[in-house]
Amino acid sequence: MIVSPLDYRYGREEVKAIFSEESTLEYMLEVEASLAKAEAEIGIVPKEAAEEIWKNANLKHVDIKEVKRVEAEIGHNVMAMVKVLSSVSGESGRFVHLGATSNDITDTVNALQFKRFYSILIGDLLGLSEVLYDLSKKNKHTVMIGRTHGQQALPITFGLKTSVYLAEVMRHLARVEESKKRVVVGKFMGAVGTGAALGKDTIKVQSTLMRNLGINEEEGPTQIVDRDRYVEYVSIVANIATSLEKIATEVRNLQRTEINEVQEPFNEAKQVGSSTMAQKINPVTSENIVSLARIIRGFVTPMHESAVLWHERDLTNSASERFIIPYVSILIDDILNKMIYVLGGLRVNSDVMLKNVLANDMALGEAYLMALVNNGYGRQEAHEIVRQASMEAREKGGELWENIRKRSGKNIIKLSPLDYTGNSIEITESILKKFEEVRANYDAKKGAAQKVG
């Protein structure tokens, strides 16, 4: 029986595979085999035994159904895996899990899953950045009305709007990169974190094991990896989700019939907008992003709660983390890729943007205020003239500009919204340049990695 929508509706298979039952067991076996190998390097376990364990630590030899059968019998998932791996490893099985406690395995598995997902998450953020870069570059001269409080405010450019999003995504990229060293962390210090089982050799084993696995080691463990690391990870993911919800909400608002300045991709040949209102084109992907972003943020509090454990550890974090880590990871990848789809295929109705910004001259209130100041009025006095002139225009009609001329007695020149976008283009170009530098750095890293490979 399938219950979770992740199993049949949301998430990419590539990411779900990282956190699947089979992959988790494979990671557990990899950690056990790598532990035996590290202990053999230090001389604690015979080399031949470690090789035998390594040979059998895979799903070809360790049957997942047998592990689940043993778990049902003994009530302990890690020990069930240990028993089955020990059994298929023959005499060498007596060295499986030597000096380890369960969280040495499970937390190190978490680190391996984080490590694999971080590369995907970084790729997603770079992909979204590329789309925002293209949108911003293409529309840096596309004038539209800026809005505050849901009301028309001052002219901006659409390129400025999307470049502000680009700058935000680049900050997320920096946060993810910076957090990786703190989150991708495993441990091998046994029960309560002292490493007493193997004495002073434990420190050597932990360093060797983590180095071989390509992850960092916990410098101050209890029986578990400290959960402030996981809190940081979930908080960063929730922060990214919030930005995506903000962008998706903007798309939804600008797609409203009475605004009609953008439209998310819609397959007009086949896609159905409504089961009854066949004429509708709804921003359903953007709405889906908003809905799932809220689910992601909902896991922030449970993750904080899971960091508060009794003494050196208890089990109150275990069940919740089985949901939190896979769900936030799978869903953030899902909505990042949906946002790439939305923005990559976004229809920008620049003609409607132009029409909306030219609809009346109310959006030039600040411009006329500054014109009055330049003609000798004090700032507050000019503000009141513009305010009264705008109220008159709303009540009786007419142009703001004409009302200001009458009230001020000054020959104020009529202005165009197209000439009052301030530093929109310069700001956009600055952000574009910054991303070009970021992209060049990643391209250089990728090139260096390929040479090493």
- pLDDT tens per residue, range 137-184: 999 999 999 999 999 999 999 999 999 999 999 999 999 999 999 999
Question: Is 430 domain-assigned?
Answer: no
Same domain assignment for residues 354 and 396: no
Q: How confident is the model at residue 416 (pLDDT cuts 50, 70, 90)?
A: very high
175-233 per-position pLDDT tens digit: 999 999 999 999 999 999 999 999 999 999 999 999 999 999 999 999 999 999 999 99
Packing angle, helices 201-213 and 102-138, rounded to 10: 30
Same domain, 165 and 225: yes
Predicted confidence band of residue 125 (pLDDT cuts 50, 70, 90): very high
Mean pLDDT of 361-380: 94
Does 158 map to a domain?
yes
Where is the domain boundary, 74, 98, 122?
98
C-alpha distance across the termini of the chain, in Å: 43
Mean pLDDT of the chain: 95
156 plus 265 within the same structural domain: yes
Domain range enclosing 59: 14-98
Whether 305 maps to a domain, the answer reads yes
**Residue 267 confidence class, pLDDT cut points 50, 70, 90:** confident
Task: Using a pLDDT cut of 70, give the percent of the chain over it.
Answer: 100
Active site annotation includes 408: no
Q: Classify residue 215: in a domain, yes or no.
A: yes
Q: Is 157 helix (H, G, I), strand (E, B) or coil?
A: strand
pLDDT band at 453 (very low <50, low <70, confident <90, very high): low
Q: Are residues 326 and 393 in the same domain?
A: no
Mean pLDDT, rounded, for 263-278: 84
Catalytic pick among 4, 20, 119, 274: 274
Contacts by 285-291 with C-beta closer than 8 Å and gap 24+?
A: 285/338, 285/341, 285/342, 286/248, 286/249, 286/251, 286/252, 286/255, 286/342, 287/248, 287/252, 288/335, 288/338, 289/244, 289/245, 289/248, 289/335, 289/338, 289/339, 289/342, 290/245, 290/248, 290/249, 290/252
pLDDT of residue 448: 79
**Cβ neighbours of residue 258 closer than 8 Å, sequence gap 6 or more:** none
- Based on the fold, state whether residues 303 and 197 are members of the same structural domain: yes
**Together in a domain, 349 and 269:** yes
The answer as to whether 43 is a domain residue is: yes
Residues 176 and 316 grouped into a single domain: yes
Q: What is the percentage of the chain residues whose pLDDT exceeds 90?
A: 92
Both 310 and 395 in a single domain?
no
Q: Tokens 């705008």 correspond to what residue?
A: 390
User: Do residues 123 and 239 share a domain?
Assistant: yes
In a domain, 5, yes or no: no
CATH assignment of the domain containing 85: 1.10.275.10
Burial group, residue 21, by CB count within 10 angstroms (0-12, 13-18, 19+): exposed
Joined together, the tokens standing for residue 209 give 């094991």
| Span of 61-75, 275-289, 423-437 with lowest mean pLDDT | 275-289
Of 98, 123, 150, the position where a domain reaches its end is 98
Instruction: Supply the pLDDT for residue 14.
Output: 97
pLDDT value of residue 433: 98
Instruction: Kindly state whether residues 141 and 191 are assigned to the same domain.
Output: yes
Contact between 132 and 396 (Cβ < 8 Å): no
In a domain, 49, yes or no: yes
The pLDDT value recorded for residue 344 is 97
CA nearest to 340, candidates 120, 125, 88: 125
* Number of alpha carbons in the 13 Å side-chain half-sphere of residue 115: 16
Q: Are residues 232 and 312 in the same domain?
A: yes
| 274 annotated active-site | yes
Query: Is the residue at 77 inside a domain?
Result: yes
Region 319-347: mean pLDDT is 97
Q: In this predicted model, what pLDDT tens digit does every residue of 39-66 receive, in sequence order? A: 999 999 999 999 999 999 999 999 999 9
Provide the pLDDT for residue 446. 84
Q: Are residues 200 and 320 in the same domain?
A: yes
Domain count, the chain: 3
Token representation of residue 310: 């009794």
The dihedral through the CA atoms of 29, 35, 38, 40 has a sign that is negative
Q: Assign residue 225 the CATH number of its domain.
A: 1.20.200.10
